[in-house]
Structures are given as C-alpha cells and as structure tokens.
Amino acid sequence: MKISPGLRASNTLLDSGTYLLLSLGAVIMVVPFLWMVATSFKLPADQYTKTLIPDPATLDNFKELWQHLPFPRLLFNSFWLSILATIGQLLTCSMGAFAFAVVRFRGRNLLFTLLLITLMIPGQVALIPNFIVFKWLGLIGTQAPLWLPSFWGGAFGTFLLRQYFLTIPRDLADAARVDGASLMQIFWRVYLPLSKPALAALSIFVFQWSWNDLLHPLVYLPTDMQRTTLTVGLAFFQQQLVMGGKFTVLMAGALISILPLILVFFIAQKQFVEGIALTGVKR
Amino acid sequence: MEASGIKPLGGERFWLGVLLAPTITGLIFGTLGSVVATLLISLTDWDLLTPPQWVGLANYIKLFTDKDLFESFLNTIKFSAMYVPGVAVVSLAVAMLMNRRIHGISLYRTMYFLPVVTSAVAAALVWQMIYGRDTGLLNYVSERLGGKPVCWLCPSKALYSVVIVNVWGAIGEGMIIFLAGLQAIPRDYYEAATVDGASGWQQFTRITVPLITPSIFFQTLITTINAFQAYEYIYMLTRRGQGDSSVPVVVFSIYRRAFNFFRMGEASALAIELAVMVIALMAVYFWLERRYVVYE
C-alpha cells in the first residue's frame, strides 16, 4: 500500500506521542523502586534528601537490619513456606485437574461445579472456621496453618490445569491405555510432562501469593519473629522504625524482600506474562 | 460430558479416590464447609473461650447500627467504585499504546509489570515515604510545580491515596490481559476502516471495544474480586497506633473483630455480608456478559 507523505507525518507525530506517554507512565511505575533503592543506601541523616544518588553511600542500613530483626530467619521462613505452598498446589491441583479432565466417574460435573462456585467466595469467609479448626488441632503458633491448606487443592489452580489438560489430545491417553498404561501412569508420564507451561505458570502464581501474603501470617503468627514471614516482620518493623525515624533501614528491608521475586520475574518473564494470558484467554 | 473420559478399571477406583481426596478435603474444610460454619457462627456470640451464645440475626443488624462497621462497608464500596474503573481505564490505555508497533515494547512491559510482582507490604513502605506530608517526594514535586502540600495519608485523603497505590500495583496485570485481547484483532480491520474514513474515536468504539469485550469482562471480574478483598495497602498505610485504621475496609474489620477482639460472631457476619456482596455483583456481571460480551 502506498502511503501518502501526510499520513506518514501524522504517524511520526503519533509515535512520538506514544513514546512520550508510555515513558511518562513508566517513570511513575518505576520511581518508587528507584526511591527505595536510593534511600536504602543513604545515611539516616540524609533520608529525606531528594536525590537519587546517595552521597555518601553506605551499607550500614543492611547491617542494621540484622540487629533489629532475625532477618535471615524471616527470609528463610518466607522461602520455605512459599516453596511448600507451591509443591502442595502443584501436586494436589494437578491431581484433581487430571481427574476432572480425563477420568470418567459419576458425579464429576457436580463436584466440578461445586469447585467452581468456590472461585467466587472470598477467602475471608474461610478464615474464622479454619482458625477454629487449627486451634482444635493445637496448631496455632506453628507454621502448619500457613502451608497445610496448600495441600487441599484449590479452585483456581485446579481450573487452570484442567483447562490446559483438556487441550492435550485424548488420543494420547487412549493410545497409552491400549498399551496397558494405568491411570496413574497416564497422569504421570503423559499429562504432567506435556503441561510444563501451565505448571510453570501456576508455580509462579502460588509462590508469589505465598511470598507476598500478609493476612494469613498476621492471623496465625503475628508476633513470633522466629516462625513468621518477612511480610509480618516488615509490618512489625514499620511501626518501630517509622517512630525512630529510620526509613533508610526500612527501605533496605523492603528492597531485600522484593529482590527474590524480581529476580524470578526477570528469569521467567515469559511464564509470568503467558500465565496471565493463559488464565484470561483459555476460559 | 459425563460419558467421555477414561474409565477407571478395578483397583484404579482407589487411585481415583486418591486423586480427588485433596480437592474433596479442601471443599469440606477450606471452602464450602467453611461457608456453612461461618453462617452458623455468625448467628452466635462467641469469644472462643466460653461456649457460643445463640443471638439470631443480631450480628447482621449490628452492621447497620454500629457506626464503625457501616463505615467499613461504605469504604469498601467507595474503594471498589474508584479502583475497578481506574485499573480498567488506565491499563487499557497503556495496552493500546503498547499495541502500536513501536520499539522497546519489552522494556516498557517490564517496567509496568514490576509493581505486580512486588509485595504490597514492601511497596507500601516506600509509598509511605512518597506520601509524607512534610518530607515526602510527592509534595516536594508538587511544591516545585507551584502546588500546595497535601496531607495524603490524613483521614480525608487517605482513601484516594490508597486507591492510587492499588491502581499503580494492578496496571501491569490488566495491561497484559488487554494486550492479549488487542493483539487478537486483525490489523486489516483498522486499515479498512481508515480507508473508509473512520476517525480514531470511531475505530475505538466500533472495532476495538466490541472485539475486546471478553478481555474487559475477564479483567473487571478479576479486579472486582480483588477490590473487595484489598487489604494490604490499607493495613500498611492507614494503620494507627492503637491498631485501628483511619480508613477501615471490610476485610480489615473482619481481621480486627475476629483476631484482636475475638468477636467471632460479628466477624463471621461481616464475612458473609462481604461474600453476598461479591456474589451479587458477579451475578450482575454474568448477566451483562450474556448481553454484551461477544466471543468469536
């Protein structure tokens, strides 16, 4: 198609406008992060200076973190709990999803419908009965209430994986069946290996939710700094340090708490983005 | 569809039970069973120490007579009414800009997505610095531009400030969903419309919007569910010394009544009310979906 000079000029103008708007927006998105990084390397006396380059720069804030909180412990707890949650969800959601997508059994539609209904129920509804059950089991004050529920499946993960399993041709399962494969072999050897993108997407979601969760650790482990998560530690820390006027140390803590996920994001950016598209497009 | 699928043979019925056991446990303890339990608890007065006392609907009536509870409902509704359209409009705008074939898309996408992977707790800490009245970055910039300092986190402004941060945190996800929808629209639709002399606005309302209705539906559905459960930024940015909040929302009140005051009945009634609100809205959404959303 031949483009007239006038059209081309207006396109250049539009392109410049696009860059301008996108860059302006990008600055707003990124400034809080730059500010966090900058402040975490400033001297406490310079915490309110409006410069992006700390002068002089210091590592003292990171050292001081260790004095205020059992910081390595909190980091470890968050890691451990997020990994347990991810394993639990991958395992139990894929099991349920396989049954719903591949196996024929009575009551399948009813059970799946019940599961879908729970997608709409806010999690807060389960908070109080769960707390009471864990109290009866004597598990309040332990980490169990934070990871155990990951091992009882869940509507989101099961639905996501079921939709993915449905895209795998049934012929594969039938062929395996003819060759004498059992149900569990078909699950383990055919479906799981073919579903890596969906499994990766779910892992990333679950890890992220668990790592960033505040409500549940706040309910189950609000003060025990040896057992609780980084989010609770930081929230607790916030009150102490803001009073003490030490935003620099607080920013050092915030920075460390977001680094693992940002690293994962840079490594697995494709899975992040495709995961969100996967939940949205494949209904 | 019951008929399709692989039939379990003999001993495999046991394995089918194993496959489904976690899901069924979850339904009983985690979700459906919890709804029943929460409903029952909401009809009682219970501090977990003494036996529950049956009080009928008193906890539900309290939502309208207790000023704090009513305020938290109002705050949740106000918050959602600003947050949901805010995220939809901004992320659609960003997605449309990114859908123009320009350079550096992946860099832009990374920058807009960063807040999504950041914990709200950590982000709230830096926003607290940015929003500071005398020392904050935002007031520094606005004063440089000739504005007056604003007390962003004072009770009169805090709700809006919290909405801004929440929108900031959600744009990345909305952008990805809209971008996926936009990229599915064939470019020649627009070329044909341009040849026919359609203006940019006409192209937007007649081509873009109708063709991305599935994305709009899905995106608003997700943000609405999130809006009613939004909690972290509010907890971090509006918490006061005594542990209450200057802008309490429903989830905050549930947490506070249940786990600070151990009023399980009141908190359960709140949770049920929240669920009813969300489910009622979902019903409206699905009704709208049937009327307006076009799937190809």
Please report, for chain A, the start and end positions of each structural domain, with discontinuous segments joined by +.
5-60, 62-281
Residue-wise DSSP of B89-146: HHHHHHHHHHHS--TTHHHHHHHHHHHHHS-HHHHHHHHHHHT-TTT-HHHHHHHHTT
Q: In this model, does residue B158 exceed pLDDT 50?
A: yes
pLDDT band at B229 (very low <50, low <70, confident <90, very high): very high
Enter the tokens of residue A278. 């996967």
Min mean pLDDT across A9-13, A177-181, B152-156 is at: A9-13
Domains of chain B: 57-292 (1.10.3720.10)
Mean pLDDT along residues B60-86: 94
Residue B175 confidence (pLDDT)? 93
Is B4 part of the contact surface with chain A (CB cutoff 8 Å)? yes
Mean pLDDT along residues A45-54: 87
Distance from CA of A121 to the nearest CA of B (A): 6
Residue B242 confidence (pLDDT)? 81
Cβ–Cβ of A214/B232 closer than 8 Å? yes
Residue A44 confidence (pLDDT)? 87
pLDDT in tens, B48-71: 989 999 999 999 999 889 999 999
Other CB atoms within 10 A of residue B128 CB = 19
Rounded CA-CA distance A206/B68 in Å is 34
pLDDT in tens, A92-111: 999 999 999 999 999 999 99
Enter the tokens of residue A49. 């200076």
Rounded CA-CA distance B170/B168 in Å is 6
Q: In this model, does residue B284 exceed pLDDT 70?
A: yes
Min mean pLDDT across B23-27, B142-146, B167-171 is at: B142-146
Among chain A residues, CA nearest to B271: A125
Residue A80 confidence (pLDDT)? 97
User: Of B8, B25, B121, which is closest to A103 when you measure between CB atoms?
Assistant: B8
Residue A161 confidence (pLDDT)? 93
Enter the tokens of residue B200. 């940019």
Rounded CA-CA distance B94/B176 in Å is 10
Distance from CA of A194 to the nearest CA of B (A): 18
pLDDT in tens, A67-85: 878 889 999 999 999 999 9
Other CB atoms within 10 A of residue A56 CB = 8
Contact indicator for B27, A115 with CB cutoff of 8 Å: yes
pLDDT band at B30 (very low <50, low <70, confident <90, very high): confident
Mean pLDDT along residues A187-200: 93
Contact indicator for B158, B238 with CB cutoff of 8 Å: yes
CA-based nearest residue to A275, from A221, A205, A173, A179: A205
Contact indicator for B162, B156 with CB cutoff of 8 Å: no
Residue A283 confidence (pLDDT)? 38
Of the two residues A1 and B63, the one the predictor is more confident about is B63
Contact indicator for A221, A74 with CB cutoff of 8 Å: no
pLDDT band at B241 (very low <50, low <70, confident <90, very high): confident
User: Of B18, B41, B102, which is closest to A18 when you measure between CB atoms?
Assistant: B102
Is B145 part of the contact surface with chain A (CB cutoff 8 Å)? no
Q: In this model, does residue A6 exceed pLDDT 70?
A: no
Mutate to test the interface with B, among A51, A183, A234, A266 (most CBs of B within 10 A): A183
Q: In this model, does residue B174 exceed pLDDT 60?
A: yes
Average pLDDT of chain A is: 89
Other CB atoms within 10 A of residue A76 CB = 12
Residue B240 confidence (pLDDT)? 84
Which of 1.10.3980.10, 1.20.200.10, 1.10.3720.10, 3.30.420.40 would CATH assign to domain A62-281? 1.10.3720.10
Q: In this model, does residue B3 exceed pLDDT 90?
A: no
Of the two residues A239 and B44, the one the predictor is more confident about is B44
Rounded CA-CA distance A215/A21 in Å is 36
Distance from CA of A63 to the nearest CA of B (A): 18
pLDDT in tens, B111-143: 999 999 999 999 999 999 999 888 899 999 999
Is A6 part of the contact surface with chain B (CB cutoff 8 Å)? no
User: Of A19, A99, A182, which is closest to B20 when you measure between CB atoms?
Assistant: A99
Of the two residues B232 and A275, the one the predictor is more confident about is B232
pLDDT band at A243 (very low <50, low <70, confident <90, very high): low
User: Of A15, A128, A173, which is closest to B268 when you measure between CB atoms?
Assistant: A128
Mean pLDDT along residues A250-269: 91
Q: In this model, does residue B234 exceed pLDDT 50?
A: yes
Q: In this model, does residue A31 exceed pLDDT 70?
A: yes
- Whole-prediction pTM value? 0.91
What is the 8-class DSSP label of residue B52?
A: P
Cβ–Cβ of B121/A214 closer than 8 Å? yes
Distance from CA of A274 to the nearest CA of B (A): 9
Going from the C-alpha of A241 to that of each of A14, A204, A250, B127, B144, the distances in angstroms are 47, 32, 7, 15, 29
Enter the tokens of residue A276. 């969100």
Residue A58 confidence (pLDDT)? 92
